[in-house]
Amino acid sequence: MRTWRFTLQCSLYAKEIVGFDITEGFVDIGKNNSRSNVSFIVGNTKNGLPFKAGEFDVAFIRKGPTSAYPELKKAVKTGGTILGLHPGDEQGKELAGLFPGLFQQASGTPVLDTIRERLTQSKFQSVEIETVNSIEYLISPTDVIKVRCFGQSQELFETVLEASLSDITKIFEQHAGTEGLPITFSRYIVRAVS
């Protein structure tokens, strides 16, 4: 789900909500589909957040950058909640064995280590990290490429699609069942109090 769509869904339960994304196209779509209690801002958390200290009661990071945590500590009121949803280190772990040219086998827990480091730097009152793993299904060979190119440019997606779709399709068809290609769906859920 795109950031703008998620923001609009949350706006049904919020007095006021701000969507913040690095991708100008997502923000533009959001602005064109906006409600009166919603605003959108383009930016990069590595450059800081354009919000006043204590401006928000709650902040939510969805698949987003861990670099936002120290900034959110400032932007969320003392006692406010920060929720994060990040891809887990085991996300799609089967794909490296099936598609070694596209995916690398991960070692250790680099994502979790980075999350913990950023949360420690942020000095929240309390922090809880939950790991959720399940089996999900990729429905088509194109879904393999979408996973590989997540967060990358459309041009990269199209390049990989053109160069690799035939080979990916063969491997996909060899290993997929009636529901699709089973992969590990892994997420870290972060709950922090500012």
Is a pLDDT exceeding 80 seen at residue 30?
A: no
Q: What is the mean pLDDT of residues 67-85?
A: 94
Kindly list the domain boundaries of the chain, sorted by start residue: 44-193
pTM, 2 dp? 0.84
Summarised one tens digit per residue, pLDDT across range 94-136 is 999 999 989 988 899 999 999 999 999 999 999 999 999 999 9
According to the per-residue pLDDT averaged within each range, which of 26-35, 38-47, 74-83 is highest?
74-83
| C-alpha–C-alpha distance, residues 186 and 134, integer Å | 7
| Mean pLDDT estimate for the chain | 91
Pick 135 or 23 by higher pLDDT: 135
Q: Using pLDDT thresholds of 50, 70 and 90, give the confidence band for residue 2.
A: low
Secondary structure (3-state) at 72: helix
Q: Using pLDDT thresholds of 50, 70 and 90, give the confidence band for residue 22.
A: confident
Question: Strands (DSSP E) along 36-180, which ranges?
Answer: 38-42, 56-62, 76-87, 126-138
Pick 63 or 141 by higher pLDDT: 141
> Measured in whole angstroms, how far is the alpha carbon of residue 148 from the centre of its chain?
14
| C-alpha–C-alpha distance, residues 97 and 184, integer Å | 13
- Choosing among 3.40.190.10, 3.40.50.740, 3.40.50.150, 2.60.120.620, the CATH entry for 44-193 is 3.40.50.150
Q: What is the mean pLDDT of residues 49-66?
A: 89
Token pair for residue 10?
């949350």
Residue 1 has a pLDDT of 43
User: Which of 13-17, 38-42, 61-65, 173-177 has the weakest average pLDDT?
Assistant: 61-65
| C-alpha–C-alpha distance, residues 106 and 102, integer Å | 13
Q: What is the DSSP letter of 23?
A: -
Residue 54 has a pLDDT of 95
148 contacts 159 by C-beta, under 8 angstroms = no
| C-alpha–C-alpha distance, residues 130 and 189, integer Å | 5
68 contacts 38 by C-beta, under 8 angstroms = no
Q: Using pLDDT thresholds of 50, 70 and 90, give the confidence band for residue 3.
A: low
| C-alpha–C-alpha distance, residues 105 and 11, integer Å | 39
Is a pLDDT exceeding 70 seen at residue 14?
A: yes
